[in-house]
Structure 1
């Protein structure tokens, strides 16, 4: 399953929409995503499991790339 992770670059940074970044992670559960990202210094705002139709939409973006963790 592919998850979309919305986050801030710095762990102590307050969430501001204009500075929110996203990445895509392949994992079985949300907990697994959090475990894989635990060593990064980021402030996770949201982890969203992508449905097939949402995933197809996201793949149309030039920025779509599944992180290799």
Structure 2
């Protein structure tokens, strides 16, 4: 399941298989986040993004490097 960390709302459940390229990008991103540790500057930059893009739809439409819908990447 993919859960929104702020609301606890389930955003997606694994009912289809993600394409390999999408899985690879997600895994790389998560690994980078886990190994980089907390940085105040990164936190502030992310906070600014959430302030600028007031909805998830806007954030995805205007900033996402990769998306996956219904098992298609």
Pairwise same-fold verdict (TM > 0.5) = no
TM-score, normalised with respect to structure 1? 0.28
Using the size of structure 2 for normalisation, the TM-score is 0.27
Structure with higher helix content: 2
The structure with the greater share of residues assigned to strand is 1
Higher RCO, 1 vs 2 (CA within 8 Å, ≥6 residues apart): 1
